[in-house]
Amino acid sequence: MAVSRATGDGNAMKQDIALQLINVGRSFGMTPAVKGISIDIAKGEVVSLVGHSGCGKSTLLRIIAGVETVDSGQVFLDGHEVDGGHFVEPEMRGVGFVFQDYALFPHLSVRENILFGLRRHKKAEAVANADEVIRRIGIEHLLDRFPHTLSGGEQQRVALARALAPRPAIVLMDEPFSNLDQGLRGQVRAETLSLLKSLDTTVIMVTHDPQEALSTGDRVVLMRSGEIVQVGSGYDLYDRPENAYAADFFCISNKVPGICREGRIETAIGNFMRPGGAAEDGSAIIHIRPQAISISLDRGDITARVKQRVFHGETEHILLAVDGLDTPLRAVALDRLPEGVEVVRISIAPERVLAFECN
């Protein structure tokens, strides 16, 4: 997938850009919701915007849709400025929006809801567009029903159909699956994304769920307090987080303090790679993912005592007390330890350990 950064690499690249945000900022009263966001999103790309609630991801989505305006910066859709110096009303932007609460019009039937965005099209064209999207999403049997009679999954499908019917160049989705049951969610998500992929639509999806973000986006944008923390593929963000916040967002790690010495970080449980730019004798923190700790009865450099075992079926979560550490280490074991074991040996895969400078 073509991934281009904001600098713009000539005309050929520009044509491939569906959405460009330049230094976008927005405040509500004294509280900044979005601060200096810049990003380019390529046509056909699926981007997930992820972050905890209040990080500004939904505001950013609404700014792109035009139902919210910017205080500073510029927004370009398909090369045309839509906010900043020149504001384009949301109805003129050609974006589709799937809302968290679906926002189906309660006074209109499913068919009328889907036709709502096609009022400017010619009658025959509107019906043809609607029919196609209805067929692809498979909601023929719901057309005469009213939104309040639909289940959550059905409402989600109708909301998607309604957003797609006018053939938007870009589809924005605000927590589109969060109102669905856990079991249904994965299935609906897979169906939705394969449909959007097959239509070659640009998609920006907001989510607060790290797993959902990693599994859906070609690129993941992690946000915090109105700013972008890191942009990259799911692998980039998980394996190569740029800071401790990004590392912790996708996986709660064990944190072990250490001191930088001679190109390494020395800790109570061994020496690890040192982050670039860390000062000699400065303090650093290493993040050890629970999966990076392997446990056995006889092999390993470190001795640990088993404090607690919580069985999860496929895995077992084990709390390990290690001499020299204030807090016990959390490990996730795939292989089962014999019952009643109290002392084990552990080893830590050094390539899966992340190290960050202390602030």
Residue 260 Cβ vs other proteins, minimum distance, rounded to whole Å:
36
Q: Which residue of 54, 99, 191, 283 would you call a contact of other proteins, by CB under 8 A?
A: 99
Using CB under 8 A, which of the segments 43-51, 104-112, 247-255, 332-340 binds other proteins?
104-112
For other proteins, which is the closer residue by CB, 103 or 199? 103
Q: Which residue of 3, 5, 9, 105 would you call a contact of other proteins, by CB under 8 A?
A: 105
Total H helices, total E strands in the chain: 9, 20
Q: Say whether residue 226 binds other proteins (CB under 8 A).
A: no
- For residue 349, give both structure tokens: 């895969």
Binders in 284-313 for other proteins, by CB under 8 A:
none
**Residues 6 or more apart from 238 whose CB is under 8 A from it?**
214, 250, 251
Please report, to the nearest 10 degrees, the dihedral formed by the alpha carbons of residues 290, 296, 301, 303 taken in order.
90
Q: Which residues pair with 270 in a beta bridge?
A: 267
CA distance 27 to 226: 10
Using CB under 8 A, which of the segments 23-31, 228-236, 318-326, 328-336 binds other proteins?
23-31
Residue 89 Cβ vs other proteins, minimum distance, rounded to whole Å:
5
Pairing of strands 343-348, 270-273: unpaired
Contact between 228 and 235 (Cβ < 8 Å): no
How many Å separate Cα 120 from the centre of its chain?
Answer: 34
For other proteins, which is the closer residue by CB, 103 or 322? 103
Tell me how far CA of residue 92 lies from CA of 22, 281, 316, in angstroms: 20, 58, 53
Q: Say whether residue 123 binds other proteins (CB under 8 A).
A: no
For other proteins, which is the closer residue by CB, 160 or 348? 160
Residue 60 Cβ vs other proteins, minimum distance, rounded to whole Å:
14
CA distance 227 to 209: 18
For other proteins, which is the closer residue by CB, 84 or 270? 84
Q: Say whether residue 153 binds other proteins (CB under 8 A).
A: no
For other proteins, which is the closer residue by CB, 172 or 246? 172
Half-sphere exposure of 67 (CA within 13 A, CB side): 11
Using CB under 8 A, which of the segments 72-80, 133-141, 217-225, 298-306 binds other proteins?
72-80
Q: Which residue of 87, 132, 259, 347 would you call a contact of other proteins, by CB under 8 A?
A: 87
For other proteins, which is the closer residue by CB, 64 or 269? 64
Q: Which residue of 10, 120, 314, 351 would you call a contact of other proteins, by CB under 8 A?
A: 120
- For residue 265, give both structure tokens: 């970080």
Q: Helix/strand/coil (H, E, C) string of 228-251? A: EEEEECHHHHHHCCCCHHHHHHHC
Q: What order of strands is seen across the sheet that includes strand 227-232?
A: 95-98, 170-174, 202-207, 46-50, 219-224, 227-232
Residue 165 Cβ vs other proteins, minimum distance, rounded to whole Å:
8
Binding mask 167-206 for other proteins (x = CB under 8 A): -----x----------------------------------
- For residue 12, give both structure tokens: 């050929």
Q: Say whether residue 329 binds other proteins (CB under 8 A).
A: no
Residues that bind other proteins (CB under 8 A): 23, 25, 27-29, 62, 65-74, 84-85, 87, 89-91, 93, 95-97, 99-101, 103-107, 116-120, 147-148, 162-163, 166, 172
